Structure 1
């Protein structure tokens, strides 16, 4: 390796560190409020319906902002947009820490939702900053950090909720955002390539409207009733706006949503896999902490654990995410790009079925969720790698943004289904078995989808050829 290559490699490593820190901060704060929802409801004198918007506002703004910010990054420079997102994210965290009522906190959480765009922006930056040989490892690491950070948020949130003020949840987030902003300003390189074309405002408005209507319907379905006129009306508006979006985007050369890309089977099933992963993950995010905290004497199920212990039972699974994500590149080189994804889903199915069979001991939760976490790492590491193979460099941010939206919508579906199941029988052991069956079903569908996510090309050329082509 000559001196210039060494400098490039060092620069790429620094960029990777900065992006990992930024993505971890986002992933941590995505779930850190989940264990503290009941506490926030009490301290801010809110109803359960109102406090649920602490999560819903973040989810809605994430889905709306991510594709637009990913497209802005592709067109005007991912480094610039990343710095802007981190600055706004820090402001949102500071606003949440200083909130005096539930309305202010919900508004601050809506501002924080822009940080989901850090994931697709990071994938685009890495494709330019790193040599092809290091790209699978880097993308796997960033993907693994998303999963590990989301799980770590449940643990950190429990610790802070149990022992400190709820405001420290957001003080921590503000500190992480400022550190990330500094590292990104120092180490993330300027863009070498940008996409042509203008900003697709009609597409952005229609996509945002469709997502808001559908996600709001999913969020309110358990409380308003799935057959209520309001929920059905929201779903109808979402579908109508979605159809209008397809009609508007199809003839555009600079469309925010590439209809041809979505009609391409490998890309469509890659997005479907992200949707299934979002749903399957949230079945566990909601089921496992709840089960651990239930009092067995009162309900017949549960461990009577604190919030902190409930989170710690999930820790082994979260730790398993990162190494398996980083192994995706090597597995894909040996077996082909679809097999890490299929193998990850197979592990996810296995862990879910073990939970169905037995789940009344703490060790079972720790061990079985480690299997699920290992599978989740392979799934998360595979998705950006498949996208990098199937889209040109100029659309990396946008395509990863759509993939993250698919996962966000899946998370909303998983949350709504879990809420409906839990609401129908909180004290029943069968309630949790049903959630684990749902997770197994989502993962089984993921196995099928994974088999069709890669193109039929020789294994020796599939893994790196598209990336190498756009970089040359």
Structure 2
């Protein structure tokens, strides 16, 4: 491609023969992909209120049931990295069918599970569907014209944070009236509709974007490194193990060794997961850094610090759990759903990187006000709404879009796979760094937690300033 590339998103031009949709023709495909990501998202958000009922129904301790969520997220990390990149070789359509097949089998196992082990196997298979987000972004980039891509990406990204918090409420109501198995009946319906939607709407002319063979060793090494690093942060910052526990140190050692093996493998592989030359380029490493730092800086302020502080009866707002969620979790989620498609329309017109920078500045401004007035309920709630626009809409939409827009031509699934895995890792790092201050039970501790979030977000802005699209591509 030349510098006069007419594609304003910087997205890869679809291969000759691939269907390019626009206008009303794109709507059925976008709806089908939204159904796919909803099938995953409902699995992530509806189950939490049902955990006590699952423990009672299966006759197991509630502590054991926590594996239902942790195992689901663990296999989500595996699916996000391996399956997204593998789709370059076998095609997006075939990979979506494979993911939906795993999701169907896993949901059936969960629905009819006679005991906890069977339910956990089902949850592991369901977790693989995490890759549906990255796959959807790649499909939209390859199947839609440039103007339609941003809007559709915003619509899919809006689902990433759940359905405005109401999916958790629905999960609680279904569990209360019909038991936890009713949740899997609802999810199964979404899976079947998703399968039919993909089968009917997916452009059959879309070809695999890579030839050769997938580097499974490289994929396994990077997956192990990311998972162990994430678990290291979780164990180290928790109350059970701590940073100096043998289990925690072992996870760090395994993560470092796996990353070293990944780098050695990628240097030698003829068709690597992502080449080291690409990894060192200004179209790759700044995005990975921005994802990690944005999630580490903003996520724990919204989803941890303010929620904990709002329930503190002595120095906070003294709210119960439901009221705290209603004031601090639902508003940013709703703002994300409303504003993300608008951001997707704006970003290709003013530039994806510029839109990300605007979002980070909005986040910094809102967090700065919170740091000054942490005990003013009206001001804090208003700033949380602003963060819904700056973070859930502007930042998350553009970070997901840039994962596709900046991805190397030779390995289109590589950057979405790696950056997607960094979303969970970044939020874990942020909570680990901020939780000691946020949990101190003082106004000063909360203010310091927000300031730490601001510093990390400033570093994310610096990473965005280093971003550059490949030659001939505008981002």
- Taking structure 1 as reference, are residues 149 and 261 closer, same or farther at Cα in structure 2, changes over 3 Å only? farther
Which residue of 361, 364, 375 corresponds with 2:390? 375
Equivalenced residues, count: 452
Paired position in structure 2 for 1:117: 131
Secondary structure of the equivalent of 2:268?
coil
Paired position in structure 1 for 2:75: 61
Which residue of 234, 237, 240 corresponds with 1:219? 234
Deviations 1:18-70 (A, max 9, x none): 11222233234323344555665676666675444333212221112222111
How far apart are residue 72 of structure 1 and its match?
2.2
User: Is this contact kept in 2: 1:274–1:406, CA < 8 A?
Assistant: yes
Paired position in structure 2 for 1:341: 356
| Structure 1, 267-276 or 236-245: larger mean CA deviation | 267-276
Which residue of 70, 93, 97 corresponds with 2:107? 93
Secondary structure of the equivalent of 2:254?
helix
How far apart are residue 375 of structure 1 and its match?
1.0
User: Is this contact kept in 1: 2:33–2:198, CA < 8 A?
Assistant: yes
- Taking structure 1 as reference, are residues 455 and 7 closer, same or farther at Cα in structure 2, changes over 3 Å only? closer
Give the whole-Å Cα distance in 1 for the aligned partners of 2:74 and 2:170.
24
Which residue of 223, 229, 232 corresponds with 2:249? 232
User: Is this contact kept in 2: 1:66–1:114, CA < 8 A?
Assistant: yes
User: Is this contact kept in 2: 1:28–1:150, CA < 8 A?
Assistant: no
Which residue of 4, 16, 24 corresponds with 2:38? 24
Secondary structure of the equivalent of 2:270?
coil
Alpha-carbon RMSD across the aligned residues, in angstroms, is: 3.3
Give the whole-Å Cα distance in 2 for the aligned partners of 1:247 and 1:120.
26
Give the whole-Å Cα distance in 2 for the aligned partners of 1:48 and 1:437.
36
Paired position in structure 1 for 2:14: none
TM normalised by structure 1 equals 0.83
User: Is this contact kept in 2: 1:148–1:321, CA < 8 A?
Assistant: no
| Structure 1, 263-272 or 281-290: larger mean CA deviation | 281-290
* Alignment pair present for 1:321 and 2:336: yes
The structure that is helix-richer by fraction is 1
- Taking structure 1 as reference, are residues 211 and 23 closer, same or farther at Cα in structure 2, changes over 3 Å only? same
Which residue of 261, 271, 278 corresponds with 2:278? 261
Which residue of 201, 204, 226 corresponds with 1:187? 201
| Structure 1, 370-379 or 254-263: larger mean CA deviation | 254-263
- Taking structure 1 as reference, are residues 31 and 205 closer, same or farther at Cα in structure 2, changes over 3 Å only? same
- Taking structure 1 as reference, are residues 127 and 14 closer, same or farther at Cα in structure 2, changes over 3 Å only? same
- Taking structure 1 as reference, are residues 415 and 96 closer, same or farther at Cα in structure 2, changes over 3 Å only? farther
How far apart are residue 198 of structure 1 and its match?
0.4
Secondary structure of the equivalent of 1:265?
coil
User: Is this contact kept in 2: 1:37–1:51, CA < 8 A?
Assistant: yes
Give matches, 1:243-392, under 5 Å: 243-279=260-296, 280-292=298-310, 294=311, 296=313, 299-307=314-322, 310-311=325-326, 313-333=328-348, 335-360=350-375, 363-364=378-379, 366-376=381-391, 377-392=393-408
* Alignment pair present for 1:397 and 2:413: yes
Deviations 1:412-469 (A, max 9, x none): 32344466556x54x54555445433433332222222222234979xx724xxxxxx
How far apart are residue 286 of structure 1 and its match?
3.4
- Taking structure 1 as reference, are residues 17 and 445 closer, same or farther at Cα in structure 2, changes over 3 Å only? same
Deviations 1:229-265 (A, max 9, x none): 2211210111111011111112323212332221112
Give the whole-Å Cα distance in 2 for the aligned partners of 1:179 and 1:272.
37
Give the whole-Å Cα distance in 2 for the aligned partners of 1:243 and 1:175.
43
Give the whole-Å Cα distance in 2 for the aligned partners of 1:58 and 1:282.
21
Secondary structure of the equivalent of 1:250?
helix
Paired position in structure 1 for 2:142: 128
User: Is this contact kept in 1: 2:283–2:407, CA < 8 A?
Assistant: no
Q: Give 5+ residue unaligned stretches, structure 2.
A: 1-18
Give the whole-Å Cα distance in 2 for the aligned partners of 1:20 and 1:260.
34
Secondary structure of the equivalent of 1:224?
coil
Give the whole-Å Cα distance in 1 for the aligned partners of 2:384 and 2:194.
30
User: Is this contact kept in 2: 1:73–1:81, CA < 8 A?
Assistant: yes
User: Is this contact kept in 2: 1:15–1:187, CA < 8 A?
Assistant: yes
Paired position in structure 2 for 1:470: none
Give the whole-Å Cα distance in 2 for the aligned partners of 1:308 and 1:101.
34
Give the whole-Å Cα distance in 2 for the aligned partners of 1:7 and 1:406.
30
